[in-house]
Amino acid sequence: MKSILVIQHVEYEGLGIIEEILQKRGFEFELIISTKNNIPKSARNYSAIIIMGGPMGVYEQSLYPFISDEVRLIKNCFDENIPVLGVCLGAQLVASAAGAKVYKGNQKEIGWYNLKLTEEGKSDFLFRGLPEEFPVFQWHGDTFDTPDNCTNLASSDLFPNQIIKVGENVYGLQFHLEVTEEMIKNWITINDEELKSVKSYINIEDLLKHTRTYIDRLNQYGQIVFNRFFDQIQS
């Protein structure tokens, strides 16, 4: 089987629990950091593409030229019927490739927020059987409109587009289903200045308390969703 391409935008936003799943299932994967490596022009050499998060915006292509390269690669995946899993910024890139506008939201969504599956989400192969509503970890300020050719599978109170699906095998998850408790603590340390700018409505102690409460359940759901995504590849 062809390897999976993993695109990271910053080294601290890695695969999380996805890496262990890939290893247990025997998948080989090629990891590239978009700020250091060239983005392939074609996805034909890969069985799937995973695109992780990052602090940059899809609309900042003049500052980050690789963004347009990634959008082009995702469009190539549409054409070649190659599965894509986009996380946070990765989801916004999927939306952009499908024709959506990506822009700054009214406020940032950082911490634990309830995710609500739509009727389409409740019946989707990846999310079938999960609770209709459950807390997920978020860290983003940008959002996107739902493209005409996409299905919206979930929403939150602050942002209506939390999971989008393009075709049968391209998914964009605005939230972080892959995170571990250690990753969250690391992000808090690294993004200290950003957190200071939102301290009027985001409390770090509450965030950490909620992490201890919800992380195990989140990882259980992540195991289900990511394994189902890889089931589609191996089938």
Known catalytic residues? 88, 176, 178
Long-range contacts of 17-22, Cβ-Cβ distance < 8 Å, separation of 24 or more:
17/178, 17/179, 17/180, 17/219, 17/222, 17/223, 17/226, 18/50, 18/178, 18/222, 18/226, 21/223, 21/226, 21/227, 21/230, 22/230
What's the CA gap between 173 and 190, in Å, rounded?
22
Give the tokens for residue 18: 């996805």
Give the tokens for residue 230: 């890889």
